[in-house]
């Protein structure tokens, strides 16, 4: 928090004479939701002064967790703590329609074998569902059965991004992110992406995960864009999903004089192994070819660093609002042992984490901490190792590229229309101006001045 501890540092680790350790509660002015600038004090006041009865009501009242959602787990904890302090009953249920936690609901669905929201809510919940439980159950079903996100009833459960397999942007257009495993791409691949961006007037940006993001696509353009990308050998990068995003890598021993292992080869192997794996939150990996750590692996959910003795595995790192360094999980693993450890760690995380909970807080809060997780993965302390292995093998075998499957299905393609009653009409509300040689969304002032072009067949840019 950038401030002094609220007590003697030793008291946090070794309280004396049975005295309770300092609680370390977030100060009232600590920012909880960086998207909307909501503090911990505001969240607590929503409970004590505005009678909000749960995290959903606090979100509606304060907007905490209403944007990217990454802080919502913390919001829930603050609300639960405040409700308990007020003597009120605290529910750990997923939402008003399910009294189960996400982990409990995952097990219920897995054991029952139910595959539709209708059947699940009839047996385990009430009502018709909401924007919390439907996407959560969509993720659970995708993790268990690897069905297409737009197959049957699943399509009605997805959030905005998954529903059209693209990230919606601030102006209502969408971004397109083809997968580039390990950041490795051929010159021919670069040419195809460049030609697609040029022909559709898209803004291009190299991402922090070693991919190329194409911005400004209209809804009706997405199938045409992906048809060209899929024909060129690209597949969905799942930038829209709570799933594996990227596996960042350095060039490793292939080129670098310091590299001791083939980090690019391992990064590509990991990305192709775990692509499309749906989880409680996004997953990011990094693979470095030596201890110089050019791929910043220790800032990722899964970090792999090469040594002369093998691969060192780190888990539970992330950037974002609360940056965390990944912690050492195992040392000197060969390729097979590394994959097996990651398989089990990820599958156990998917089964037991809370909704929108990254690996870092999940590992920190797991009973017994990192040592207990090591026992699950390496010693099979819960007797579920073979089950976790089978689950991951099932995911790998069942994987299919979501966009390739969509292009082959006329029914799914019907969703990509700006207007249901006028399928041939493009969205006329998109407006762009030129900046640094590319198109960007026009501001309100620029729209009112008339110094823009409205998006037509391609996104025209005025220089």
Please indicate whether residue 218 or residue 20 has the higher confidence score (pLDDT): 218
Closest CA to 345 of 249, 295, 277: 277
Q: Residue 52 corresponds to which tokens in the numbers above?
A: 């909000």
Q: What is the pLDDT of residues 395-437, one digit of tens each?
A: 999 999 999 999 999 999 988 988 878 878 888 888 898 899 9
Q: What was the pLDDT predicted at 17?
A: 60
SS (H, E, C) 244-289: EEEEEECCHHHCCCCCCCCHHHHHHHHHHHHCCCECCCCEEEEEEC
Q: What was the pLDDT predicted at 417?
A: 87
Mean pLDDT over each residue of the chain, to the nearest integer:
90
Q: What was the pLDDT predicted at 90?
A: 75
pLDDT reading at 94 higher than 50: yes
Closest CA to 352 of 325, 303, 387: 387
Report pTM: 0.86
Q: Does 242-400 match 9-85 at the fold level?
A: no
Question: Residue 175 — very low, low, confident or very high, per pLDDT cuts 50/70/90?
Answer: very high
- Yes or no: is domain 242-400 CATH 3.30.413.10? yes
List the single range of 105-114, 146-155, 357-366 with lowest mean pLDDT.
146-155
Out of 1.10.150.120, 1.10.10.1100, 3.30.200.20, 3.20.20.10, the CATH code matching 9-85 is 1.10.10.1100
Question: Residue 280 — very low, low, confident or very high, per pLDDT cuts 50/70/90?
Answer: very high
pLDDT reading at 456 higher than 50: no
255's CB contacts (< 8 A; 6+ apart) are none
pLDDT reading at 13 higher than 70: no
Q: What was the pLDDT predicted at 247?
A: 97
Q: What was the pLDDT predicted at 136?
A: 94
Q: What was the pLDDT predicted at 133?
A: 93
List the single range of 94-98, 181-185, 382-386 with lowest mean pLDDT.
94-98
Phi, psi (deg, nearest 5) at residue 178: -70, 150
Got the DSSP string for 58-123? HHHHH-TTSSS-TTHHHHHHHHHHHHHHTT------SBTTB-S-HHHHHHHHHHH---SHHHHHHH
**Ranges of each domain in the chain:** 9-85, 102-158, 242-400
Please indicate whether residue 79 or residue 394 has the higher confidence score (pLDDT): 394
Q: What is the pLDDT of residues 376-396, one digit of tens each?
A: 999 999 999 999 999 999 999
Closest CA to 234 of 170, 188, 269: 188
List the single range of 75-84, 266-275, 321-330 with lowest mean pLDDT.
75-84
Percent of the chain scored above 90 by pLDDT?
67
Please indicate whether residue 2 or residue 154 has the higher confidence score (pLDDT): 154
Question: Residue 445 — very low, low, confident or very high, per pLDDT cuts 50/70/90?
Answer: confident
Element counts in the chain: helices (H) and strands (E): 18, 14
Q: What was the pLDDT predicted at 457?
A: 39
Q: How far is CA 28 from the centre of its chain?
A: 28
Q: What is the pLDDT of residues 14-48, one digit of tens each?
A: 666 655 555 567 888 888 888 888 999 999 999 88
């Amino acid at each position: 928090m950038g401030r002094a501890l609220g007590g003697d540092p030793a008291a946090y680790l070794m309280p004396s004479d049975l005295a309770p350790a300092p609680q370390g509660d977030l100060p009232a002015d600590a920012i909880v939701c960086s998207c909307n600038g909501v503090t911990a004090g505001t969240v607590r006041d929503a409970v004590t002064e505005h009678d909000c009865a749960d995290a959903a009501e606090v979100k509606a009242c304060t907007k905490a967790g209403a944007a990217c959602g990454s802080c919502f787990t913390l919001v829930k904890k603050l609300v639960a703590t405040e409700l308990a302090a007020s003597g009120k009953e605290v529910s750990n249920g997923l939402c008003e329609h399910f009294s189960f936690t996400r982990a409990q609901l995952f097990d219920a669905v897995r054991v029952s074998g139910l595959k539709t929201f209708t059947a699940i809510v009839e047996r385990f919940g009430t009502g018709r569902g909401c924007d919390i439980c439907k996407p959560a159950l969509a993720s659970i079903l995708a993790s268990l059965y690897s069905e297409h996100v737009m197959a049957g009833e699943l399509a009605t459960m997805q959030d905005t991004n998954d529903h059209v397999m693209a990230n919606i942007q601030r102006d209502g257009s969408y971004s397109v992110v083809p997968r580039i495993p390990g950041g490795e791409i051929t010159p021919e691949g670069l040419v195809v992406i460049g030609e697609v961006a040029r022909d559709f007037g898209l803004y291009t940006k190299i991402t922090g995960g070693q991919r190329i993001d194409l911005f400004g696509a209209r809804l009706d353009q997405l199938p045409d864009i992906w048809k060209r990308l899929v024909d060129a050998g690209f597949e969905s990068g799942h930038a829209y999903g709570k799933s594996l995003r990227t596996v960042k890598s350095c060039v490793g021993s292939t080129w670098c004089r310091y590299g001791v292992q083939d980090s690019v080869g391992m990064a590509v192997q990991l990305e192709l192994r775990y692509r499309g794996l749906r989880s409680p939150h996004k997953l990011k990996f990094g693979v470095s070819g030596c201890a110089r750590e050019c791929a910043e692996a220790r800032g990722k959910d899964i970090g792999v660093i090469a040594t002369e003795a093998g691969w060192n595995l780190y888990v539970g790192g992330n950037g974002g609002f609360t940056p965390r360094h990944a912690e050492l999980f195992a040392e000197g693993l060969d390729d097979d042992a590394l994959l097996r450890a990651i398989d089990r760690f990820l599958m156990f995380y998917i089964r037991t984490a809370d909704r929108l909970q990254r690996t870092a807080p999940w590992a920190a809060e797991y009973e017994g901490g990192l040592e207990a997780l090591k026992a699950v993965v390496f010693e099979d302390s819960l007797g579920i190792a073979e089950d976790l292995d089978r689950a991951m093998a099932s995911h790998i075998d069942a994987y299919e590229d979501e966009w390739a499957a969509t292009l082959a299905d006329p029914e799914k393609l019907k969703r990509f229309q700006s207007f249901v009653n006028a399928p041939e009409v493009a969205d006329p509300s998109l407006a762009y101006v030129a900046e640094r040689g590319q198109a960007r969304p026009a501001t309100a002032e620029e729209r009112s001045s008339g110094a823009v072009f409205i998006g037509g067949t391609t996104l025209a840019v005025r220089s």
